[in-house]
Amino acid sequence: MSTASDRPLRVAVIGSGPAGVYAADLLSRSDAVAEGEVDVSIDIYDRYPAPFGLIRYGVAPDHPRIKGIVTSLHKIMESEKIRFFGNVEYGTDVQLEDLRAHYDAVIFATGAVYDASLHIPGIDLEGSYGAADFVAWYDGHPDVSREWPLEAREVAVLGNGNVALDVARVLSKHAEDMLVTEIPNNVYEGLKKSPVTDVHIFGRRGPAQMKFTPLELRELAKSRDVDIVLYDEDFEFDEASEAAIESNNQIKAMVKTLNKWREEQRENPGTASRRLHLHFMQSPAEVVGDADGRVAAIRMQRNELDGAGGIRPTTEIQEYPVQAVYRAIGYFGSELPDVGFDARRGVITNVEGRVVDEVENTVPGLYATGWIKRGPVGLIGSTKSDALETITHVLEDRDFTAERPEVGQVEDLLHERGVEFTTWSGWRSLDEHEQSLGAELQDAQGNPRKRVKVVPREDMVHISRKR
């Protein structure tokens, strides 16, 4: 067996989203590495040809500040201790036994990319969608259809988190106002044809319990020719709600924003061609279909505050005419081959990032971080503290077990299997190409676009692998 003095600790990270990149960064800059106690060599794998996961395929394109996180991720990936292998799928192109042969430790950072289920009558009608699928479409995901059926005039979005706001904002925004972003041309053409007039966001709880963030909420007011509509009956606060507002600055700021909009609404009734309705205290009860099996309406059950910071259902049902329903009630992780999985929570079975088996015995050399470790909760920045816990254990447990740790042997394996993998230099080529596509086009003000995403996987791979 090798020792620390013989070679670096070889680590594979599966997933190049923020969770995986932050884990690699914290590991490469750890005290143990800085003090010369151990050296590390890290390879980050991703099933997609381009890096950055959630940032590229899960964040709304009109969020330049959040997209700016890519800049910091870029700097991390430039490290001489980190390599990128894109277009390599774990479980298909490489198996766990392959990774164990080449690496001393494997960190899974595959995130949560599927929609959580909602079990109500009619949820499977035509015109009912998961938010994750729609986000993947407007973010130019290479594995989804280039078309999206934007045919509804009235739309319901179920959920009280930031994803619900993103979906509702993109649905209600005028297509030409999205040209300042990196949306692919097929997305622009699809949004341009949309006949939408009203988008309804429904949350189960009251304004004092909403899961938005102030930044996301304020973004709604920036959409041109879109009125925000609020309902006074949703703004009755009990003692627990008042206490939540006073004790939480974020909630206080958001309730203040909503009350400001209510006042503006009373003084100046909206005249915009589109409306974005914010509803609180309503839970979905049933999606109603027409004779052709398509969404025709949604029935919502009214809730009331229970006086202790929670809600309870009432018998009041209200029906809203809608022709499409988007559920944005959370994401759910997917099982990976040869790794324990908690099907109830949608996470890899783990204790503080150490993977465990069915009887909670630690599986040596296997770790998890990010949403696949703890579930799809928290903002992107919170993955840093999460990754720190995981890499602390990686260093504590370090054992030089890889039988074939030489860095060149990984490329040999992928070449032997005919895997058309992409690299960091390939990403830089794709990045430059997407920027050049934008320079050739104009936004609604006649300015060059900053970039336009390449969508087809084969094109991404070809551009990335050109020599």
Q: What is the pLDDT of residues 81-118, one digit of tens each?
A: 999 999 999 999 999 999 999 999 999 999 998 899 99
| pLDDT per residue as tens digits for the range 307-353 | 888 899 999 999 999 999 999 999 999 999 999 999 999 999 999 99
The percent of residues in the chain predicted with pLDDT above 70, rounded, is 98
Q: How far is CA 111 from the centre of its chain?
A: 8
Summarised one tens digit per residue, pLDDT across range 435-467 is 999 999 999 999 999 899 999 999 999 999 986
User: Residue 247, class by beta-carbon neighbours within 10 Å (0-12 exposed, 13-18 middle, 19+ buried)?
Assistant: exposed
Estimate to the nearest angstrom the gap between the alpha carbon of 8 and the chain centroid: 33
What is the structure's pLDDT at 5?
55
The beta strand positions in 193-310, using DSSP E, are: 198-202, 226-229, 274-279, 282-289, 295-305
pTM: 0.94
Task: Provide the 3-class DSSP secondary structure of residue 169.
Answer: helix
Q: Is 275 left (phi over 0), alpha (psi -120 to 50) or beta?
A: beta
| CA 404 – CA 101 distance, rounded (Å) | 6
Share of the chain above pLDDT 90, in %: 88
